[in-house]
Amino acid sequence: MNKMIVINPNKQETITVNGVTYSRFAIKTHVITKDDSIEEAVEKYAKPHLQTGDIVFISEKAVACTESRAIPLIDIKPRKLAVFLSRYVQKTKHGIGLGMPETMEMALRECGILRILFAAGISVVGKILGQKGWFYHIAGDKARSIDGPCPNTLPPYNKYVVLGPKNPMKTAKNIADRMGYGVAIVDINDLGSNILGHSNINLSVETLGQILKDNVLGQSGECTPMGILRKH
């Protein structure tokens, strides 16, 4: 296997979904920043390894970073409402989410105060009924895609809040048109997967989410922000 193509620790190369087996390869890159073009990065690192029918899947965080959507923590001044709401967000070992004032502040800016308050109220009802995930169902992808720093976050992003991509569907189409292969922009963590944008993937969004649900790109410092999906 080429040294740029890896299987991350504790991840499996293959998975079978709906009776079909797929290989998932993670691709090592340099640390992608606002000085990079995501189209050029995919062309440089992924294209040399692609075969007919392959799909390139790209971390939404990598896309967002090239769009200057990574905001230094020191530049974010949380309002009192953000501090208050962040206290009630469940924190997990898989990510901070909106559980810190700075990420909640960016959610308020991205989604609007009324939407976040409504989502918070609905989530309380959900908890009473023993249901999870209602907050993000109401708040939407913009809130779900906000990433805060965790202990294992790759520098320099251990001191940043990263928002979701501006227009993941358009970006996926642009890359697909340039590369001639299917492209998906994905928000994956160790809790699950969400397909934010896609073009020419010849799979349902639900099926692609199942294929990638174990987060083959990794959760911390693997430096593998994109991968190749190959049907057997």
Task: Give 52-83 pLDDT, tens digit per residue.
Answer: 999 999 999 999 999 999 999 999 999 999 99
- Same domain, yes or no, for 144 and 37? no
Same domain, 122 and 90: yes
> Which residues are within 8 A (CB) of 224 and not within 5 positions of it... i.e. 6 or more apart?
6, 8, 26, 27, 28, 29, 217, 218
Q: For residue 66, how many C-alpha atoms fall within 13 Å in the half-sphere facing its CB?
A: 19
Q: Comparing 45-49, 96-100, 120-124, 149-153, which segment has the lowest mean pLDDT? A: 149-153
Q: Are residues 40 and 151 in the same domain?
A: no
Counting the structural domains of the chain, the total is 2
Residue pair 220/154 in contact (Cβ under 8 Å)? The answer is: yes
Cα(186)–Cα(170) distance, rounded to whole angstroms? 13
> Is the domain of 75 the same as that of 183?
no
Same domain, 25 and 74: no
Containing structural domain, residue 132: 70-161
State the CB neighbour count (10 A cutoff) for residue 199: 20
pLDDT of residue 218: 82
144 and 193 co-located in one domain: no
User: What was the pLDDT predicted at 91?
Assistant: 65
Domain stops at, among 108, 127, 161: 161
Q: Looking at the structure, tell me whether residues 157 and 88 fall in a common domain.
A: yes
107-137 pLDDT tens trace? 999 999 999 999 999 998 988 998 888 898 8
Average pLDDT for 7-13: 88
Does 63 lie in the same domain as 93? no
Predicted confidence at residue 3, as pLDDT, reads 73
Average pLDDT over residues 35-49: 96
Indicate if 65 and 172 belong to the same structural domain: yes
Alpha carbons 161 and 154: distance in angstroms, whole number: 12
Residue after which a domain boundary falls, among 136, 161, 186: 161
Reported confidence tier of residue 149, pLDDT bands at 50, 70, 90: confident
Together in a domain, 144 and 120? yes
Domain match, 87 and 143 both: yes
Q: Are residues 65 and 169 in the same domain?
A: yes
86: number of Cβ within 10 Å: 22
> What pLDDT was estimated at residue 81?
97
Mean pLDDT taken over the chain: 91
| Span 27-34, average pLDDT | 95
Residue that is last in its domain, among 161, 178, 204: 161
